[in-house]
Amino acid sequence: MTPFGARVRALREERGATLTAMAEAVGVSPAYLSALEHGKRGRPSWYLIQRIIAYFGIIWDEAEELAKLAEISHPRIVIDTSGLSPQATELANLLARRVSLLSDEEIGELLFVLKSKLPGR
């Protein structure tokens, strides 16, 4: 599941909306919406994000948060390390091969370190 998919699912459940009703309202199939919630589809389009925001009637910070979650929710990410140091390539490859072996706690620790080192997060 992606951060975007988890949030959409939580919003849908909080509001008592069925998958089928929401899918119809935002103009996608229930199968697509389910795949999006479970991280089996790529990042949604800007237009779909806007329809989801309108469907839930969310505004300002909450709408911005949902759009940002969509930006970081592509389930099959490619990291281009060409031109970077050998260590950057090693890090990308290790993460790609071993992320599924990490616990949620370990992932949280790595996220904390990365977010503390990067501006704008």
Kindly report, residue by residue over 27-70, the tens digit of the pLDDT: 999 999 999 999 999 889 999 999 999 999 999 999 999 999 99
Q: Are 21 and 46 part of one and the same domain?
A: yes
Range of the domain at 104: 86-117
Q: To the nearest whole number, what is the mean pLDDT of the chain? A: 93
pLDDT tens profile 13-31: 999 999 999 999 999 999 9
Residue 81 domain-assigned?
A: no
Residue 76 domain-assigned?
A: no
Q: Are 61 and 11 part of one and the same domain?
A: yes
Residue 120 confidence (pLDDT) above 70: no
Residue 80 domain-assigned?
A: no
The three-state DSSP-derived secondary structure of the chain is: CCHHHHHHHHHHHHCCCCHHHHHHHHCCCHHHHHHHHCCCCCCCCHHHHHHHHHHHCCCHHHHHHHHHHHHCCCCCCCCCCCCCCHHHHHHHHHHHHHHHHCCHHHHHHHHHHHHHHCCCC
- Give the number of domains in the chain: 2
pTM attached to this predicted model: 0.75
Stretch 98-119: mean pLDDT? 92
